[in-house]
Amino acid sequence: MPSLEDLVEMGGDGPRGQEQAGGDLLVGVAVLDGTAQVIGYLTVVEAHLLAGLAHRDLGDQRAANQAAERALALAEPDRPVLPFLMTDARELLEGLPRHETAHAALRLLTVVRWIKAGRR
């Protein structure tokens, strides 16, 4: 599994799956480390979700779960659904161990599933 430094060096030259995951991770890192300018906390929620999806795609489920938990913690007070829909984070939320999450992930997951079902 490539490290973050490997992904930065890889740029767009890696295999398609890793390229997409690496791109998502780099976008997330740019927001989370302060490199990218952020207006509003929803961008940070989305960055955590993108990082979580990238970690999952690269085979690091523990890091994916941690990123999803951080996104949920930031989103919990207002319970916005948009960042979770925009990143298609349903599978990321479904991958969270139910006995370990302290957030309203199940309610949010239900809403995301309901909205996605209505789109089809």
Whole-number pLDDT of residue 31:
79
The model carries a pTM of: 0.70
Phi-psi region of 97 (alpha: psi -120 to 50; beta: other; left: phi over 0): beta
Banded pLDDT at 19 (limits 50, 70, 90)? low
Q: What does the pLDDT average to over 89-98?
A: 85
How far does CA 115 lie from the centroid of its chain? 18
Banded pLDDT at 102 (limits 50, 70, 90)? low
Whole-number pLDDT of residue 7:
45
The per-residue pLDDT for range 64-89, each reduced to its tens digit, is 999 999 999 898 888 888 898 888 88
Q: How far is CA 77 from CA 44, 53, 99, 114, in A?
A: 14, 23, 21, 21
Looking at the chain, list the stretches that DSSP marks H as alpha helix, in order from N- to C-terminal side: 4-10, 16-32, 41-57, 61-75, 82-86, 90-94, 105-119
Banded pLDDT at 16 (limits 50, 70, 90)? very low
55 touches 92 (CB < 8 A) = no
Separation CA 111–CA 89 (nearest Å): 12
100 versus 92: the higher-pLDDT residue is 92
The per-residue pLDDT for range 22-56, each reduced to its tens digit, is 566 666 677 787 787 778 899 899 999 988 998 89
Separation CA 118–CA 113 (nearest Å): 9
Evaluate if residue 1 carries a pLDDT over 50. Answer: no
Whole-number pLDDT of residue 117:
77
